[in-house]
Chains A and B, each alone.
Chain A
Amino acid sequence: MKISREDVLRVAELAYLDLSEAELETYRAQIDEILEYIGKLNELDTAKVQPMAQVLSEDQTADTTLREDLIVPCAVAEDVLRHAPDPEPPYFRVPKVMER
């Protein structure tokens, strides 16, 4: 077994994701099977391989020097707040974070 019930619980906690009992067991079994399959990567010796962290080569990417600091209008605040679950312009309201 690659992944235990406790692993799934720990990961769900890291991801702030509520899972039901049924989901926990279903995902554990399915992810276990997927990780089992992924294990085939160990057939490859990658000790000397550089990980691919970028898709584009340097000559294909834009100049990375800083652009000019231009002020552009960005009047979306009202729009953004209008669709928020609990707006209190100009803020988003959330449940209390700190206890007294």
Chain B
Amino acid sequence: MAKEKKRTGARVELAMTTNWSIDGVKDALRAKKISARELAADFYKRIESRNPQLNAFLTLSPERARRQTDRIDALVAEGKPLPPLAGVPVAVKDVISTRGIKTTCGSKVLENYVPPYDATAVERLEAAGAVILGKTNCDEFAMGSSNENSAYGPVKNPLVEDRVPGGSSGGSAAAVAAGLAVASLGTDTGGSIRQPGSFCGIPAMMGSYGRVSRYGLIAFASSLDRIGPLARNVKDAAAILQIIAGRDPQDSTSTTVPVPDYREELGKPVKGLRLGIPKEYFAEGMDAGVRKKIEAGVEVFRKLGCSLVEIHMPHTDYAIAAYYIIATAEASSNLARYDGVRYGLRVDDDSLLAMYRKTRGAGFGAEVKRRIVLGTYVLSAGYYDAYYLKGQKVRALIAQDFRDAFTKVDAILTPTSPVPAFKLGERTDDPLQMYLADIYTVTGSLAGVPGISVPCGMIEGKLPVGLQIFGAPFAETRVLQLAYALEQAGGAAL
């Protein structure tokens, strides 16, 4: 009886811990301080109390979670070795396919869509022992920078609830920041992992283009889309990336470049590394509070013995224009599939073409329609050379800027966003202004390089700032090593 009571006491204490890490979960499971089932139940309890306010989750998957926790608890009971993510409760952005679990892309057009298969990233997470709690809110088809373009309502920033969590992976960032998941999957096309990570004060990583299979990721812009982790600390982000990275025959653009052990270099001294500070990223237009924190973050690296090198990336100022040509062109093509025939919404009409038009007109929200119109226009006869081809040429120049930079430096430091989290509703009327705030993230998206946003202080103690670290293609280890160094040096509290 006494023993039983003691165990209950420990449970209550653990249930109140929102600061779980991947290793913490594993240690607790192994020591039998908590079962995977109990842990998942605790997270669902927290989701139940906090989600009505935050709107971070769109769909919960308790049955699937239960099947997984039973598997993990059986391994613990049998004393078998635990897989790397054993029992870790995770959330998955709603543009990533999950078999048997509704996947809406934040859109009315897929309101009742249930995928018949899992994305490779989801399959790999589950095979590694992770417990999928549910699907997170996002801008419709990942198009947006504030999560206000979701057909299912905006997400609130858990740190400052009158502000946006960033986007498009706003639900994935908010869920982790609020302690409703230990880690999550987001997707990044022009900043959609890194910017919400920055707004919510957590590390958020995009690997190199091709590093993580896109199989099962519902396409927005195929030459830019990437799946990546958001987590409570850099080590956990590395652990998730480790599992989902690597060649997948189902995605011909997934690379054959070997996946190293990302955690091996964490904690190794960064002394002597050359870090590029691109002048163009520190020009006008940056919020003064953001600038102060980023400068303090850069100073941390100097004190750690890195050499700071001023570099030039002369085509930075053209990145937004090139990005919004290429991304919308690809989107207009990818979204042609929503025609009311095979899945999702159908608005009936006697004629097939009218059925297409009405279905698409009713199913898509304003930002998606705007991008389809713009993307179709830049690809249309007479405008293709002036816009799409021009955009691809400028993309080549931006990629060259990065190649040139990496002949001189080991990594590049920039702010993640020129502004901290802004107020809900503050920027929805002016799409161009919203696009312009993506300036620091779209460059790396176009170039295909890896990037992370890592916490770098809070403005007036309440608005998080993210410092972005870009690495050369497939230099994820270096990016993570630097992010870890800033985190360990107290980056979040600058």
Contact = CB atoms under 8 A, between A and B. Distances in A.
Interface residues of B, number: 75
B393 A50 contact: yes
B361 interface: yes
B110 to A, nearest CB: 10
A50 B396 contact: yes
A18 B360 contact: yes
B332 A15 contact: yes
Nearest to A84: B342
A27 B210 contact: no
B352 A94 contact: yes
Among A3, A35, A63, A97, chain B packs the most CB atoms within 10 A around the CB of: A35
Contacts of B361: 17-20
Nearest to A85: B346
Contacts of A66: none
Interface string A35-46: 101101111101
Contacts of A96: 350-352
A51 B392 contact: yes
B377 A83 contact: no
Nearest to A51: B392
Nearest to B392: A51
Contacts of B332: 15
A83 B339 contact: no
B355 A15 contact: no
B369 A19 contact: yes
Given A11-B380, A83-B112, A52 B247 contact: no
Nearest to B257: A60
Interface stretch (B79-87, B132-140, B319-327, B480-488): B319-327
Contacts of A73: none
B406 interface: no
A11 B349 contact: no
A41 B257 CA distance: 34
Nearest to B389: A51
B377 A84 contact: no
Nearest to A60: B255
A20 B366 CA distance: 11
B93 to A, nearest CB: 20
A52 B448 CA distance: 11
Interface stretch (B113-121, B193-201, B414-422): B113-121
A95 B342 contact: no
B346 A86 contact: yes
Contacts of B377: 3, 7, 11, 31, 35
Contacts of B391: 41
B249 interface: yes
A17 B342 contact: no
Interface in B176-227: 209-210, 223
A56 to B, nearest CB: 5
Interface string B439-454: 0000000001000000
B393 A17 contact: no
A16 to B, nearest CB: 4
B374 A62 contact: no
Interface string A3-21: 1000110111011111110
Contacts of A30: 370, 431-432
Among B322, B348, B361, B364, chain A packs the most CB atoms within 10 A around the CB of: B361
B376 to A, nearest CB: 5
A30 B370 CA distance: 8
Nearest to B253: A56
A60 B351 contact: no
Interface of A: 3, 7-8, 10-12, 14-20, 23, 27, 30-31, 33-35, 37-38, 40-44, 46, 49-53, 55-56, 60-63, 67, 76, 79-80, 83-86, 92, 94-97
**What are the 10 A-B residue pairs with the smallest beta carbon separation, nearest first?**
A18-B361, A51-B392, A85-B346, A79-B116, A52-B396, A46-B393, A55-B448, A16-B356, A76-B116, A49-B393
Given A19-B369, A56-B209, 9 more contacts: A14-B376, A15-B376, A17-B361, A17-B364, A30-B431, A49-B396, A50-B396, A86-B346, A92-B341
30 contacts: A12-B376, A16-B336, A16-B353, A16-B357, A16-B360, A17-B373, A18-B360, A20-B361, A27-B370, A30-B431, A30-B432, A31-B373, A31-B377, A34-B374, A37-B320, A38-B387, A41-B318, A41-B321, A43-B318, A49-B393, A49-B396, A56-B210, A60-B474, A62-B249, A83-B343, A84-B341, A85-B343, A92-B341, A95-B352, A96-B351
